Structure 1
């Protein structure tokens, strides 16, 4: 079966497929990129592909900015659902830009500042964490560039986000968990804590290593994607039993624990650390 040219690794608008669009989607021949833009399912997801897709929906001469720039640079901005839609943000003027596959895009550093200024706090932190983890931006560069946004109402939030940001966070969930702990007044935890066992080493996502009654506290974010199957849950339980034998109390944290309305997480951590959490929750 021969496909039209727009299937040759290039993004295309839905109207180019005509009446076959829904059929192609149902057959898993194409996947959605953004707005009304699609691509063949076997096309590698690269910044160049995303840039080409953005070029199809932006006005002539527009500069991709905000969440659209973050998407092109590969910075997650929500990560709550797999069907999150990318917002089409653009500007006509920007001082700090780069070229990606012929499209002018706000630079990763300036994008990090924009996200810290405008996104809700948990998403702002996870986005900046991911940006630092990518190695393309340094915290000091973000803080310096922030001075160019004097007068923006999001300045206090951005300064706090840059203070809290940490390149060691390996997922948005870990970033949100850390923010909950910081907001509750428990202090900055250690990340990716390595624990030596008799037969193997372990690593805990978030840890408070100072002992309380000869036990230490660790928290692990168990994502729905990697920890929902019975076999995975059995493995997690064995691992936590092993860590308990090494003097660690591990609290598993799931997405509802972070986004629910009741402060069960703060109360559980506070009970172990013998500290009353700062409440009410901020988000």
Structure 2
């Protein structure tokens, strides 16, 4: 039971659409309830929490199974942007023995087991962003993941070990993880994360002086925080101030990372005087 002071639909517990029948659309449109995951809803007053997410998942999982994969990561608080292209965590479970924790009565694969499973099974960019997100959350450590990976006989264990070699808890968003992977795939030196430059902090940087005496920084600019006129004016002001401090800044948007043309690698290579390794790997 989730404790709440006010009278709530089903005592503040998540419920399926079938439980309210034809009232579902009306309750949603009135703002009385909100969607937790596909098919599961809760009173709009109930705050998000691992317990709420676990209770919602428990409505659909078969008996004697463990929530795993992207579902377990979402329960542990990992943003779905780091886990794949869909905003919905889906329903993933296993009957195989695995290290588990119990959340709101639901068996969930532990953070370390979940992170390793994602490193093994997701495509490379999401494998890295998932591991980075787990490390940043503090729910597991790189040493713990490396220990688990060293005993894995999974066919894709090589990918997990590679991603753990690239992983860094300082990545503050999935976009920063994807950007770092693109640079490493291109054969560039490992960039430094969260570099201070005057009053600013750069997502990624190559702090060593270039041939022109300046330094190179890269910023991942998400549409959410960098698309409006006021935000763009702020970004331009920031770039001008960083240029005055001796920085070349490359601003990277999501299409730059996921498009087919290697403009990013070519731009970075021109500054570093290094031919990028092409073609792109993803």
TM-score bin (small chain): over 0.9
Matched, 1:37 2:48: no
Deviation of 1:223 after TM superposition, in Å, equals 0.7
Mapping for residues 119-158 of structure 1, pairs under 5 Å: 119-150=122-153, 152-158=154-160
Please give the secondary structure, in 1, of the residue aligned with 2:148: helix
Q: TM-score, normalised by structure 1?
A: 0.93
The answer to whether the 8 A contact 1:217-1:250 is kept is yes
Residue 100 in structure 1 maps to residue 94 in structure 2: no
| Superposition map of 1:264-283 within 5 A | 264-283=263-282
Q: Give the count of matched residue pairs.
A: 276
State the alpha-carbon separation in 1 of the partners of residues 98 and 151 from structure 2: 10
State yes or no: 1:116 paired with 2:114.
no
Structure 1, 26-35 or 133-142: larger mean CA deviation: 26-35
What secondary structure sits across from 2:22 in the alignment? helix
Counting only pairs closer than 5 Å after superposition, residues 208-247 of structure 1 correspond to structure 2 as: 208-212=206-210, 213-247=212-246
CA distances 1:34-70 after superposition (whole Å, capped 9, x unpaired): 2311112231110000010011001122111111111
In 2, Cα distance between equivalents of 1:80 and 1:57: 20
Aligned mates of 2:17, 2:214 — CA distance in 1? 58
Post-superposition offset of 1:94 = 2.4
- 1:77, distance to aligned residue in structure 2 (A): 4.5
Partner of 1:19: 22
Q: Spell out structure 1 runs of 4+ moving beyond 4 A.
A: 79-83
Q: TM-score, normalised by structure 2?
A: 0.93
Residue in 1 that maps onto 2:60? 57
Q: Which residue of 1 aligns with 2:79?
A: 76
| Superposed CA offset, 1:140-184 (max 9, x none) | 10011123421x111111000000000000000000000000001
Cα distance in 2 for partners of 1:142, 1:80 equals: 17
In the alignment, structure 2 segments of 5+ residues that lack a partner are: 1-5
Is structure 2 residue 254 aligned with structure 1 residue 255?
A: yes
Partners of 1:73 and 1:148 in 2: CA distance: 24
Query: Residues 94, 77 of structure 1: CA spacing in aligned structure 2 closer, same or farther, 3 A cutoff?
Result: farther
Q: CA RMSD in A?
A: 1.8
8 Å contact from structure 2 (residues 36, 42) kept in 1: yes
Does the CA contact (< 8 Å) of 1:183 and 1:281 recur in 2?
yes
Q: Following TM superposition, by how much is the alpha carbon of 1:272 offset from its aligned partner in structure 2, in angstroms?
A: 1.1
Say if 1:30 and 1:39, in contact at 8 Å, map to a contact too: yes
